[in-house]
Amino acid sequence: MKIFLASTSPRRRQLMSEAGFAFELVNPETDEIERKGEPPRAMVKRFTLDKAENASKLLPAASTGIVIAADTTVVSPDGKRVLNKPVSEADARRMLGVISGRTHVVLTGYAVFAIKSGKIAKRHYAVVRTSVKMRKLSSAAIAAYVASGEPMDKAGAYGAQGIGMGLIESIKGSYSNVVGLPMAELLRDLEKKFKLKPDWRNRA
């Protein structure tokens, strides 16, 4: 069955390829605008479902397959704020200062839509929570990491799969969830709910 990955994230593409899935990319073309007072879980769900809905509409007429979409959000240690991608180096330094030496939560929502003859036949949504404890970071360490450029396209201003892995003291829960897609949970749902398994013989 054809898989359509509704994502522009290179990290999600890599995770799906390494898991043994062949897929076609679809840019979901969504405007991720926060709503005042919206809880992080509700925001993640809204963004994820919007991506899946938009991607489904962009498929060729009479398409049949599976659409997979996801959204990852980093929640501040106090649980009150969402730490999105930094808008500047100063913003990245601020975010890293907020999470330094503390535990924060990463939420990734994922949606799987079954498409039959161009119409959505089945929908599934789930969210996975991971707790991440960061090392206590000096101002010099934060400045050096920001200067590397790695934080600038990542929620929370760090990447768990790059240089940023050295900033993490411990992770409770799914590591791949922090990268951008909770693979164990996604694989389970694809198999149980959609009868879809990866081909590990052709793993990228």
Number of domains the chain contains: 1
| pTM metric for this prediction | 0.93
CATH number at residue 129: 3.90.950.10
Summarize the confidence of residues 92-110 as an average pLDDT: 98
Domain holding 114, by residue range, is 3-202
State yes or no: is 50 an active-site residue.
no
**Residue tagged active-site, from 50, 71, 189, 199:** 71
Tokens of 180: 């951008």
The pLDDT tens digits of the residues spanning 149-173 come to 999 999 999 999 989 999 999 999 9
Residue 145 has pLDDT above 90, yes or no: yes
For 170, counting Cβ atoms within 10 Å of its Cβ (0-12 exposed, 13-18 middle, 19+ buried), the class is exposed
Q: Which residues contact 179 (CB under 8 A, 6 or more apart)?
A: 11, 15, 159, 160, 161
Query: Which residue would you say has higher pLDDT here, 89 or 198?
Result: 89
